[in-house]
Structure formats: structure tokens, C-alpha cells
Amino acid sequence: MSHSPSISLEGLNPEKFTLGARAGSLVGRFLVVGIVGLAVAAALGLTGDQGDLSRFLHAYTTVYVYFTSIALGALFFVLINHVTSAGWSVTTRRIAELVTGAFPLLALLSLPLIIAALMGTAEIYPWANPDGGLVPEGVAHLVHKKAGFLNAKFFAARMVLYFVIWIAMAAWFKSRSLAQDLSGDPAITNLFKKRSAPMIPVFALTLTFFALDLLMSLDPVWYSTIFGVYYFAGGFLCFMALLGILAKKFGAEDGILSGFIRDEHYHDIGKLTFAFVMFWGYIAFSQYILIWYANIPEETAWYHEREGLFWGHVGVLFLLKFLVPFVGLISRHMKRHPQRLVIFGGWVMVMHFYDMFFLGMPSHLNTLHYLEAQAGPATEAGKAWHHAAESFASMPFGIMELACLIGIGGLFVAAVAKSFASHSILAVRDPRLPESMTFHNP
Amino acid sequence: MSSQYDLEIQTALEDPTSRPHLVMGGATFASIDDDVAGVSEGFLKKTSLAWYAMFGASISVLAMLGAVVVYLISTGVGIWGNQSPVFWGWPIVNFVFWVGIAHAGTLISAILFLLKQDWRTSINRFAEAMTIFAVCCAGLFPAIHVGRIWVVYWLFPIPNQMEMWPNFRSPLLWDVFAVSTYATVSLLFWYMGLIPDLATFRDRATSKIRQGAYAFFSLGWTGSSRHWHRYEKAYLILAGLATPLVLSVHTVVSFDFAVSQLPGWHTTIFPPYFVAGAIFSGFAMVLTLMIPVRAIFGLQHIVTLRHLEVVSKVILATGSMVGYAYAMEFFVAWYSGNPYEQFAFTNRAFGPYAWAYWIMVSCNVISPQLFWFKKLRQSVPALFVISIFVNIGMWFERFVITVTSLSRDFLPGSWAYFQPTPFDALTLIGSFGLFFTLFLLFIRFLPIIAISEIKGILHKQESHH
């Protein structure tokens, strides 16, 4: 845990840092858990009552963007550390590289959403079927105007493009970095620096449009130019929180990276977590205050759905995702104490999920209310929609959401565990490893 | 001389196992003292005609600004081109321009300090000084734009017998707090960093007046370990406090526009976009000023080509963020389906101010992209020219935002083309007089490089051998 001067960095064997069966045994278990979870969710969604399909697709999207944001945060961690020639992060960087191994799975998991769009399932994406009765009449012309961008085929093509890019980037960094474990070639580090720079704008644009496609377009009328930055800020924050947790897991006395992850690393991870707590709070506040202040109905409707219907989300989210970790992590002492870092890391990860829930799920309730109004509140169908809305509002996080969380979460853990099982989790011959082992925070 | 350092830097950069030296030319503690203090002391030894010429020119321009301001106050803001519907013309453009430039200093001294970026030590003092002077220039514009400057204190919530208060819901009032807080903290930060170096100046002073003045301002600094201990603590705390300020000031400035309902102003990306643009313009100004200064005073071994290259990378990064924001605004204006939003942006790009828009895009988006090429990042003339382009582009950005949205609002009947008057131009030029007068005084009397911080990294450099 603390600085171990006795560790020799000569001739470190990557095999020694491979988790093997310790992670490998998780793969099968979580795969089963994931598949069962998703099967339950899909069964509930496809065969259940009125409104359950919408609830399934919204819950699925919410959980899906949550885990994708973590993988994107990991990819950004790799990119930013290479482009800045960072030395401190070397002993933790492989962890991020291995987390990005989840991208192929995430690509696969995008299929239900792509299929839903291609089938014109208006319950999740009203624009996918503009005449499907889920676009309010007053704004139908707007949705038609956007059809050049918001149409199922282009949506599908964009999703494929994002994942081709992310999988290629992640695979390149991972494979080159693993090759360096064997060769120790410093030229690879220089190449990382050179290539990561132009990848950052590509990353920024793909992430932005991913967020627009999956989350912002749930309400095809609403728009916010900061939305991509909002999604990025939360995702990177969530990954830093996860990194703190994994660093503690591997860096503890009996951990595989014991002695390699030092208090200085916890401190730096804590600082970045803290900084992104502030950055997320800043972005969330900026978006809110500008929309609140200008008070334009097209924009405020989105917040109205999110603060009026249940829990008064905006304030609660700000309090829980910003204020609590802000106060908690402000002191140096907290950041250097791994156990406390883990507690706040876990808190932040839960709050980021709440944030994604806040972005995604109110759209489900909105859909139900709209369908109720369409059918007429007095009719049978209207009553059924009303009932669905009531039952969701009374328990917004129910079996459906839990099943999706367990399903996608289980598969995500399985994919990451598989990645961890077969590779060294330390970049053993990174030329900056000695620096990462000796630096001190002032 | 410089090419030898450049070669050393080149070879060092190719080896990731070690960190290249930040200060070149076998510098020692004594040589750093001589080199940096020598800039100011050089003026004592030899009368510098060039300095007097430049100072004379700057102070004349400043005097001209004084005359314009007197004319403005005695006549009214009507001497400017601010006319219906563009009541916010050049004064706010200039204000935002200067506040933006003021962002590099605190970013370098606070955020880069927290990020342990040691290279900042060669340029932080300089950038902080520039920050203070730019804030002075910025503060001038709202103050003289209020119309009745004799009641300018109404900007502050001072208890008074009329029980009249400023409107706390107005972002213009938030601006008063944001900018004055920023000016105060930047000044404190700058001054505190200066204390050990002022003591060095004091100890080297040869005349009684010089010695007395530096002794007064160095607050009895002896360099004891207790002094250093407190200094470093205070520095860290100030850095922590100043970091949110880097974001908050330009965020509040962006609120001046973005809380409105005007298409082209009201867009949620404004806060981070303005901050990125501010850092972008601030770093460009650092390059513009640093390149001649390091050449004139022979400081190429302290502010090396590597430092300039790193600054150019920051410009590339922040310039790309600005480009991202332009693109998002355009895309979302289309995506919104809102005809007013769409009009605001097509009007910018293809309307009567298209010339200004394309100057902005060429300077802010295209020109920094040239820094993808290593050859240009390492070419001093290219760095200088591009930094000037960025300065120009960032002025035009504020012009485009302010004027295009106002000149054609919702009512076509009230549309008009904004015409600046000569007094608009003279006020802008005059603010440069203020800036350069302060800047030349800074070069002459104060340590333009943070001597003690450079010594701190020299120490690190040596211990790694």
C-alpha cells in the first residue's frame, strides 16, 4: 500500500500480473447472471402489460448508456494520459485499457436499440415512426424536419460507426501496450503520444453524437448544445470512481499490484475524481440555469418532466452527485485513504446511475401520459395507460429496471473480467514505470 | 544560440524514460538570478532607447484613451456606434475580449500548478502579469459604458438612504462580482508569488531608492524555512481557490448573453465554450508577447522552444474546443427545427456580417489547426503569426456573437446594420495603450520570470542525474 522501495522493476514478468482464474471464474458466473437478467427483462417487456415494452426499452437504454459511459471514460483516460505524457498513471493505465475491452460486448448490446429503431418502435424513439401516434400534433412538423438526421437507417449506421471507431481505438492501444510488455520498446510510447492526439477529436464527436442519439432524441423536440459535454463529464467521473475502487482492490496488501499502487496514486485518482465532480456539477448547473432563466417552453418542458413528476430530481441529483462527494473528497486526507476513496467511489458510481436514470426514464412516464391522453382518460385503454403510469411513478426503480441493471451489468462485468483474466494488469515495461513508482505529490 | 538548446530538447523528447530538462544552457541558481534580474537591472546600466520609444508610444496612446473617455463622459455614449437595435456594440466586445485574455495567467498559475506541470514556471509570472493588466483593460469598458459614470458605484450593493439595490437577478451584476473577485485573487496570487523574487531584487539593489522600494514590497522576506513553509501552503490554497475562478469568470460573462432568449445567445454550451475560448485567447496573447521578449532579453534558455511548443498545443486543444462549440451550435440550430435559431446561424455565416464570421472561423478554427504540424509548432515565426491570428479571431468572435444576433432580431422592421464610429476604434486602440504601458513598466521594474520557482525545478533537474 505504501511506498515499497524494495520492489525491483527489472525483469518483471507479465505472467505474474495476470489474474487468470481469479478473474476468469467470474466470467461464467456473470455471463449467466447477465443472460438471465436480460431474459427476465425482455420477457417482462415483450409479453407484459400495456406500457411494459416502453418501460423495458427505456430501462434498457438507461442501463446501457450507463455502462457505455464507463467504457468511454476508460478510453478517454488512456487517450488523455498518452497525449499528456503522464507518468503518474502508468501503474493504473492498464486497468483502463482492459476496461475498454468491453466495447465489443457493448456493440452487441446496441442491437436491441438499433432493431427497435429499425422496426419503428415509437415507444422508445418517437422519431423512428413519426406517424406512429407518439409525436404530439403541435410538434409533428419539427420531427419531420429532423428526419434527415433522426431516421432509423441513419441512426443504425451511426451506431455501427461509433462502435467500429471505439473498438478499433481500444484494441489498438491495448494490443500495442501488451506488445510493449514483451519488448519494452520506448518507441511505442512515443507512438501512443502521437496517435492519441488526433484520436481525441474523433472521440469527442462520436461520444457527443452517441449521447444525442440515445438520450437526447428520446424527446425528439428538446435540444441542448451542452448535452455531449454533460454525458462526457459524468462518464469520465464514473470511470475515475471505478478506477479508485479497482486500484484499492488490486493495490491492497494482498492485491496483485501491492506496492505498485501507492498512496500517491490514490491521491491523484482522488484529485481527478474530485475535479470531475466539480466539472460535472458545473456543466449540470450551466445547463439548468440557462434553461431555467430563459424559460422557453420547448426547453423547460424537459426539465419539467424531470423535476415535477417524481422526487424533484434536479435538486436531489445536484445535492447527491455534486455536493456530497464535493464535501467528502475535498481534503487531502480523504483522497489518500483508499478505504474512504472506495466509499465515495461507490457513491459516485451509484449517483451516476441515478443521473442516467434521470436522463432516460422520465421519457417513459411522458410516453405513458401522452398515450393516456391520446386514448382518452375515460376509455379502457386510457385507464390501462394511466395504471401503467401510476405503477411506474409509485416505484420508478422496479423489477424491470433491476433486471436490466443485472442483465447488462452482469454481461459488462463478465466482459471486463474476461479482459482482466487473460492479460497482465500492469504495463510491466512501460518506460515511465519507474517514474510512476517514485513520484510524490506535494 | 537558440538552435543549440533546440537540439538538446529534440533528443530529450524522443526518450520517454526521462523527462527533458526544462531550463537549458547549464543554468545555475546564480545564473538564473543574473539572467532574470539582469532584465530589470540592464535598464540601470544602459539607457534603452527602444524601451523609451515604446513606452512613449504606449503612454501617448493611453493619454489618447484618457481624452476619449473625457469626451465620452462629457458627451455621452452616443459618440459610439451603439444604436438601435445594437445597443451592445464594441464596448462589450472589448470587455469580453480583454477578460478572455486575462484567463491564461490564472490557468497557468493555478490549474497547471495543481496538475504538477513544471513547465509553467518559465511563463507563469509573465502570464499572471498579463492577466492583471488585461483585467484592468476589461474593467474599463463596463465602467465607461454605464453612461452616468458618476453613479458607477450603484453597480455595488451599497446600503443607501433610497433603499435602492442592484438587480441581483441580472447577470450583469454577477459580472461585477465575478470580475472583481477574479481581479482580487489574481492580484493576490501574483503578488504573493513575487515576494521571494522581490527580495532577490532587494538584495541585489545598488541604489538606496531601489533597495528601499523592493524591501518595502518584499515584506521582510528572508527566505527562512518558516517563510518558505508558509509560502508554499498559501500558494497551494490560493491555487485551489483560484481554480474554480478560472471557470467562473467567463462562465458568468457567457451568462450575460446566454440567459437571454435571443437566438445565437441563448444556448447551453456557452459557459464551457466561453471558458475554452478565454484560455485559447489568453495563451495566444502569452505567445504574442513572450516571443519578442525572450528574444530581446536573451531568455531562450529559460523560455525554450519546448515551452512555446507546449503553449501551441494548448492553443490547438482549446481552439479545437471552440471549433467543437461552433459546430454544435450550428448543428443544434438545424436540429432544433426552430426557424429563429436557424435564421440566426445562417445569418451569421451568409448574412451581412458574413465577412466577420469567416474571419472568426479562419482565425479561430482553421489557423490553430496548423499546430498539428510539428514543424510549425517549432517555428518561432509561425507561432508568432498564428498567435496574432488567434487574437484577431477572438475579438471577431465576440463581435459576431454580440452584433449579428442584435442587428437582426425577431422584428425585421427594426433590423439595422451596425456602424462603429471612429471613437469605437479609438477606445479599443486606447485600451492597448493602457495594456502596453503597464506591461512595459512590468518588464522594467519587476522580475518577469519566477526566479524562485525556476530554482525549484532546477533542483529537481539536478537530482535526477
**pLDDT per residue as tens digits for the range A139-197:** 888 888 999 999 999 999 999 999 999 999 999 999 999 999 999 899 999 999 999 99
HSE, side-chain direction, 13 A CA sphere, residue A142: 23
Residue B256: the pLDDT is 93
Query: Using 50, 70 and 90 to split pLDDT, how confident is the model at A308?
Result: low
Q: What is the pLDDT of residues B337-366, one digit of tens each?
A: 899 999 999 999 999 999 999 999 999 999
- Of A201, A205, A225, nearest to B268 by CB-CB distance is A225
Residues of B with CB below 8 A from A146's CB?
335, 337
Q: Apex CA B173: angle with CA B170 and CA B178, to 5°?
A: 125
> Can you give the residue range of the structural domain that contains B164?
4-464
- Contact state of A289 with B259 under an 8 Å Cβ cutoff: yes
Higher-scoring residue by pLDDT: B440, A315: B440
- Of A145, A197, A432, nearest to B16 by CB-CB distance is A432
Mutation for A interface: B107, B252, B275, B336, most A CBs within 10 A: B336
Q: What is the pLDDT of residues A73-92, one digit of tens each?
A: 999 999 999 999 898 999 99
Total Cβ atoms within 10 A of residue B307: 23
Weakly modelled stretches of chain B, pLDDT under 50? 1, 464-465
- CA dist., res. B429 & res. A180, Å (int): 56
* Gap from B33 CA to chain A (nearest CA, Å): 25
- CA dist., res. A200 & res. A80, Å (int): 8
Residues A350, A364 contacting (CB under 8 angstroms) = no
Average of per-residue pLDDT across A103-113: 96
Count of A–B CB contacts within 8 Å? 93
Residue B465: the pLDDT is 40
pLDDT of residue A430 exceeding 80 = yes
Residues B259, B171 contacting (CB under 8 angstroms) = yes
Residues of B with CB below 8 A from A441's CB?
116
How many domains is chain B partitioned into structurally? 1
- Contact state of A225 with B269 under an 8 Å Cβ cutoff: yes
Residues of B with CB below 8 A from A296's CB?
261, 266
Q: Apex CA A236: angle with CA B269 and CA B114, to 5°?
A: 85
Residue B384: the pLDDT is 95
Q: What is the pLDDT of residues B43-67, one digit of tens each?
A: 888 878 889 999 999 999 999 999 9
Report CA-CA distances (Å) from A178 to A21, A81, A392, A417: 19, 16, 47, 17
Residues A54, A360 contacting (CB under 8 angstroms) = no
Residue A239: the pLDDT is 97
- Contact state of B232 with A442 under an 8 Å Cβ cutoff: yes
Residues B129, B446 contacting (CB under 8 angstroms) = yes
Query: Using 50, 70 and 90 to split pLDDT, how confident is the model at A381?
Result: confident
Query: Using 50, 70 and 90 to split pLDDT, how confident is the model at A316?
Result: confident
Lowest-confidence region among A239-243, A346-350, B206-210:
B206-210
* Gap from A43 CA to chain B (nearest CA, Å): 35
Average of per-residue pLDDT across A315-324: 86
Confirm or reject contact between B267 and chain A (CB < 8 A). Answer: yes
Residues of A with CB below 8 A from B255's CB?
289-290
Residues A286, B268 contacting (CB under 8 angstroms) = yes
Residue A2: the pLDDT is 42
Residue A6: the pLDDT is 60
* Gap from B114 CA to chain A (nearest CA, Å): 9
- Contact state of B329 with A442 under an 8 Å Cβ cutoff: no
Residue B275: the pLDDT is 94
DSSP B83: B
Total Cβ atoms within 10 A of residue B215: 17
- Contact state of A141 with B232 under an 8 Å Cβ cutoff: no
- Contact state of A146 with B267 under an 8 Å Cβ cutoff: no
Residue A114: the pLDDT is 95
- Contact state of B332 with A223 under an 8 Å Cβ cutoff: yes
Compute the residue count for chain A. Answer: 442
| Residues β-bridged to residue A18 | A424
Residue B41: name the closest of B286, B214, B291 by CA.
B214
Residue A305: the pLDDT is 84
Residues B430, B393 contacting (CB under 8 angstroms) = no
- Of A286, A296, A431, nearest to B251 by CB-CB distance is A286
CB under 8 Å to A441, separation ≥6 — which residues?
A264, A267, A268, B116
DSSP string, A102-163: GHHHHHHHTHHHHHHHHTT-TTT-GGGSTTSS-S-GGGHHHHHHGGGTSSHHHHHHHHHHHH
What is the CATH number for B288? 1.20.1630.10
